[in-house]
Amino acid sequence: MKKLFAVIFILLFTLGLKSRADEGMWLLPLIEKLNLGKMTELGLKLSAEDIYNLNQACVKDAIVSIGGCTAEIVSSQGLLLTNHHCGYSSIQSHSSVEHDYLRDGFWAKTKEEELPSPSMYANFLIRIEDVTDQVLANVRKEMKDNERSSAIEAAQRSIVGKAIQGTNYSAQVSNFYNGNYFYLFIYERYDDLRLVGAPPSSIGKFGFDTDNWEWPRHTGDFSVFRVYSGPDGKPAPYSKNNIPLKPKHYLPVSIKDLNKGDFAMVMGYPGRTQRYSTSYEVDEQLKITHPNRIKIRGLRQEILMADMQADQKVNIQYASKYSSSSNYWKYSIGQKAGLEKLNVKSEKQEIEKQFNTWVIADPSRKEKYGEALNMIKRAEEGRAEFANAQQYISECFTQGCELLTTNRYAGSLLSALRSGDAKRVADAVSQLKITTARFYKDYNPPTDKKAMKAMIKLYRADIPDKFQPDFYRNVIDKKFKGDIDKFVDNMFARSVFADQKRLNAFLDKPVLKTLENDPVINTSASISKVSAEVNSNIARFEGDLTTGRRLWMAALMEMTPEKTLYPDANSTMRLTYGSVLDYDPRDAVNYKYYTTLKGVIEKYKPGDYEFDVPQRLIDLYNRKEFGRYASPKGYMPVCFTTNNDITGGNSGSPVMNAKGELIGLAFDGNWEAMSGDIKFEPDLQRTIVVDIRYVLWIMDVYAGAKNLVDEMTVVQ
Angstrom distance (rounded) from CA 59 to CA 72: 10
Residue 17 has pLDDT above 60, yes or no: no
CATH number for the domain spanning 636: value is: 2.40.10.120
Sign of the C-alpha dihedral, residues 191, 195, 196, 201?
Answer: positive
The active-site residue, picked from 221, 448, 668, 700, is 221
Q: Which of 2, 35, 4, 129 is nearest to 577 (CA)?
A: 35
Average pLDDT score over the chain = 95
Residue 144's pLDDT is 87
> Which DSSP letter does residue 570 get?
B
Angstrom distance (rounded) from CA 195 to CA 692: 19
Determine, yes or no, domain membership for 165: no
pTM, full prediction? 0.94
Least confident of 16-20, 100-104, 240-244, 576-580: 16-20
Residues 70 and 16 in one domain: yes
Determine, yes or no, domain membership for 172: no
Kindly list the distances between the CA atom of residue 372 and the CA atoms of 142, 145, 366, 451, in Å, as whole numbers in the listed order.
Answer: 16, 14, 10, 43
Known catalytic membership, residue 149: no
Residues 363 and 426 in one domain: yes
Q: What is the average per-residue pLDDT within 46-58?
A: 97
Which of 548, 573, 598 finishes a domain?
A: 548
Q: What is the average per-residue pLDDT within 132-156?
A: 94
Least confident of 25-29, 526-530, 557-561: 557-561
Q: How confident is the model at residue 67 (pLDDT cuts 50, 70, 90)?
A: confident
Which of 519, 548, 577 finishes a domain?
A: 548
The amino acid occupying position 286 is L
Determine, yes or no, domain membership for 52: yes
Known catalytic membership, residue 430: no
Determine, yes or no, domain membership for 522: yes
Residues 41 and 113 in one domain: yes
Q: Is residue 272 a contact partner of residue 648, using CB atoms and an 8 Å limit?
A: yes
The active-site residue, picked from 22, 61, 75, 85, is 85
Angstrom distance (rounded) from CA 636 to CA 125: 35
Residues 286 and 268 in one domain: no
Kindly list the distances between the CA atom of residue 247 and the CA atoms of 60, 72, 191, 662, in Å, as whole numbers in the listed order.
Answer: 11, 11, 15, 16
Residues 254 and 296 in one domain: no
Q: Tell which wins on pLDDT, 22 or 349.
A: 349
Q: What is the average per-residue pLDDT within 102-113?
A: 97
Residues 229 and 98 in one domain: yes
Residues 82 and 200 in one domain: yes
Residue 145's pLDDT is 85
Determine, yes or no, domain membership for 24: yes
Q: Is residue 580 a contact partner of residue 593, using CB atoms and an 8 Å limit?
A: yes
Q: Is residue 204 a contact partner of residue 216, using CB atoms and an 8 Å limit?
A: no
Residues 294 and 269 in one domain: no
Determine, yes or no, domain membership for 596: yes
Q: How confident is the model at residue 477 (pLDDT cuts 50, 70, 90)?
A: very high
Residues 621 and 672 in one domain: yes
Determine, yes or no, domain membership for 171: no
Q: How confident is the model at residue 15 (pLDDT cuts 50, 70, 90)?
A: very low
The active-site residue, picked from 95, 202, 332, 651, is 651
Residues 443 and 346 in one domain: yes
Helix, strand, coil % (nearest 5) of the chain?
50, 15, 35
Residue 9's pLDDT is 44
Q: Give the alpha-carbon dihedral of 549, 555, 561, 565, to 10 degrees.
A: 60
Residues 443 and 508 in one domain: yes
Residue 679's pLDDT is 94
Q: How many domains does the chain have?
A: 2
- Name the residue range of residue 644's domain: 2-121+191-275+565-715
Q: How confident is the model at residue 199 (pLDDT cuts 50, 70, 90)?
A: very high
Known catalytic membership, residue 85: yes
Q: Is residue 403 a contact partner of residue 497, using CB atoms and an 8 Å limit?
A: yes
Determine, yes or no, domain membership for 145: no
Kindly list the distances between the CA atom of residue 467 and the CA atoms of 390, 455, 536, in Å, as whole numbers in the listed order.
Answer: 9, 15, 13
Residues 392 and 418 in one domain: yes
Residue 3's pLDDT is 52
Which of 513, 548, 583 finishes a domain?
A: 548
Q: How confident is the model at residue 19 (pLDDT cuts 50, 70, 90)?
A: very low
Residue 561's pLDDT is 58
Residue 141's pLDDT is 87
Q: What is the pLDDT of residues 616-648, one digit of tens each?
A: 999 999 999 999 999 999 999 999 999 999 999
